[in-house]
Structure 1
Amino acid sequence: MQNKVRKKLFSLFTGEWFATLLFAVLWFLYTQLDEGFEAYLTPVSSIYAFVLLEWILLQGGYYWFLKWRQVKRGVFSQLADKQLRLFVFLKRSNLVLIVIGFLFLAYQCMVFPKEFYWFVFLFAFAIIEHVNYYHIRLSYMSVEEIREFIQQKGFRSSLLAKELKKRNKQR
């Protein structure tokens, strides 16, 4: 059981960090290789949404890394208060950054340049990742997890959201 959990957590944090790195490499390559993509990838609004997405993915990877490290040591409790305080700060700062993103969205709607849809895609992806980590679990990967989702008849809180809620109740 512990080995299965450790493997799952390892794949979660390495997957998030690999995706973050891969997205950055692809972003760079597309801006260098084809001028047609540059118009979509280099406007400030697109860069903002991309950096926001990368930032949130790094947070998720860091959370899974901390959980993996705990399980590796045989600890199955919630994160330490100092670590949870960091995630409270990150959650709040993400919300501020998302509000700023909505200002970019309003601007994009008025101007409607050709990168509008790319910005909306990246910004929505970032918001979905934030919700997935800090509020409701949205990712169900295995057949077993999908069955569990259907049986529970709806979404459940993410693991990080549960830990933050438990921390708030203890205060």
Structure 2
Amino acid sequence: MKKKIEKRLCYLYSGENASIICFLIVFYFFNLTYPQFQLSILSSFIVSFFLLLFILGQGSVYWFIKWRRLKQMGTADIPNKLLLYLKITKKVNLFILMFIPVLFVIDYQVRSLDVSLIGLLISIFVYLFAVLEYINYFHVQLSYDNKSDLLWLLRTKKLKRACLSKEFERINLK
């Protein structure tokens, strides 16, 4: 059972790292191929994109530490110090998520003649993706990619609490 959990945790942290790398590569080549969408001048896109990468990075660190502790110590409990750090990043993430709509208004109002509508739509998509990742990590699990998760979802007909949410509760950090 321990090996199975180790494998799952390794899959989770390496998947988040791979996502970060893939998103950076896709952004680079997309921006080169379609400069008319002007993503690099849209503050709403830049902040949303880097927030998405920041949240994925937090997830990667979380899963990596769980994997390493399970492998080395036989327990996947996260140190309280890391949980405190993640609790702070949760608040930072939320602040940035709440600020980004202001950037959309600025991009639309101030740069309305210079901005591509498709660029704004891509920015909105990336922003919504960041919102979903935030929810997935800090509130409710939205990703159900293995058999046991899917069976649980079908049996209970409700979403699971996010792992970090449970960890915060464990040390009274709601």
**TM score, norm. by length of structure 2:** 0.88
Please state whether the residue corresponding to 1:156 is helix, strand or coil.
coil
Partner of 1:3: 3
Partner of 1:146: 150
| CA deviation map 1:130-157 (0-9, x unaligned) | 1100111110002332111111220121
Please state whether the residue corresponding to 2:93 is helix, strand or coil.
helix
Alpha-carbon contact 2:10-2:64 (below 8 Å) kept: yes
1:19-168 map, 5 Å: 19-37=19-37, 39-107=38-106, 111=112, 113-114=116-117, 115-168=119-172
Quote the Cα distance in structure 2 between the aligned partners of 1:64 and 1:156: 17
Amino-acid identity (%): 27
Unaligned 5+ runs, structure 2: none
Query: Which deviates more, 24-33 or 117-126?
Result: 24-33
Q: In the comparison of the two structures, how many residue pairs are matched?
A: 169
Quote the Cα distance in structure 2 between the aligned partners of 1:19 and 1:49: 15
Quote the Cα distance in structure 2 between the aligned partners of 1:125 and 1:168: 29
**TM score, norm. by length of structure 1:** 0.89
- 4+ aligned runs moved over 4 Å, structure 1: 108-113
- CA shift for structure 1 position 69: 0.5
Unaligned 5+ runs, structure 1: none
Query: Which deviates more, 26-35 or 134-143?
Result: 26-35
